[in-house]
Amino acid sequence: MIGRMTAMAVMGALLGSAAWAQDHRFEISGNGGWTFSDGVTSAGGPVLGGDGELYDRIDPTDSFSWGLTIGYYLNENSELEFIYSQQQSTLEVSGTAVREIGDFSIKNYHGVYTYNFGETDAVARPYLSIGAGGTSYPGLTFTRITGDTGEIGGNTQFSGTLGLGVKVYPGSRAGLRLGARWTPTYIKSDSDGYWCDPYWGCYVVGNAQYSNQYELSAGLTLRF
C-alpha cells in the first residue's frame, strides 16, 4: 500500500512537471523604464571648441528606455533569454560649458542566462541574469555654428550585462516583471572612431574606459 502511494506520488510529480513544461516553456516580456548612461573623457586632455570653450567629455544623457525579452526555459529554474533594449537619449559635450550635439539612440543586444528562484507556481520569483552581446552607437549628423553639417560615425562594441529583479505572477500566465540591469561597454576609438568629430576635434581614447548603463524597468510578462 505504501509502495503504491509512493509510486502514485512520484507519477503525480512527473505529470506535474510535464504539464509545467508544456504550459510554461516560453516567456515574453515588454518593459519601459529609465537608463542612466556614462560617456567617456578625452584621453588627450581638453579640446578647444569653435565657440572658445574647452570640452573634455562626451555623454549620452539619462533618459527613457524600453525593451523586449524572449525567454526559453531549460527546466523549472534555468532560462535562456534574448534581450533587446533601446535608449532614446541626447548626446552632449561638457567641460567649461555644456553643449548638446543632437538626439541619440543606444541599442543593446544580449543573450543571457537567467536563474529563477523558487517554485514555478510561486506568485513572486526573484531572478539573476548574466550575459554578453553588443551595444550599438549609430551615426549622428549635426549642424555646426558655421551652418554646415558634421557627422559622428557610429559603431557596435562588445558589452556584458548583469541583471536582477522579480517576476510576479498573480495568475498562471500573465504577470509583472521588475528589473535592474548593468551594462558596461568598453570604448576605444581612433581617427575614424566614434569619439571623433570634425567640429570639436578628435576624442581619442587611448586607455581603458567603460560607458556604463544602469537600467531600471518594469513591464508586462507572459508565459506559455
**Residue 91 domain-assigned?**
yes
Q: Kindly state whether residue 166 falls inside one of the protein's structural domains.
A: yes
Report yes or no on 174 lying in a domain. Answer: yes
176: Cβ–Cβ under 8 A, 6 or more apart, which residues? 167, 168, 218, 219, 220, 221
Q: What's the N-to-C CA distance of the chain in angstroms?
A: 37
Radius of gyration of the chain (CA): 23
* pLDDT (0 to 100) of residue 97: 85
Is residue 86 over pLDDT 80?
Answer: yes
Tell me, what CATH number does 89's domain have? 2.40.160.20
Residue 8 lies in a domain: no
CA distance 160 to 152: 24
Q: Do strands 149-152 and 201-202 pair parallel, antiparallel, or not at all (unpaired)?
A: unpaired
Torsion of CA 191, 35, 170, 77, to 10 degrees: 40
Would you say residue 92 lies in a domain? yes
Residue 20 has pLDDT above 60, yes or no: no
Asked whether residue 30 is assigned to any structural domain, the reply reads yes
- pTM value is 0.75
Q: What is the domain extent for residue 140?
A: 25-223
Task: Count the domains in the chain.
Answer: 1
Half-sphere exposure of 153 (CA within 13 A, CB side): 11
- Inside any domain, residue 54: yes
**Once rounded to an integer, what is the mean pLDDT over residues 80-89?**
95
With respect to residue 5, please indicate whether it lies within any of the assigned structural domains. no
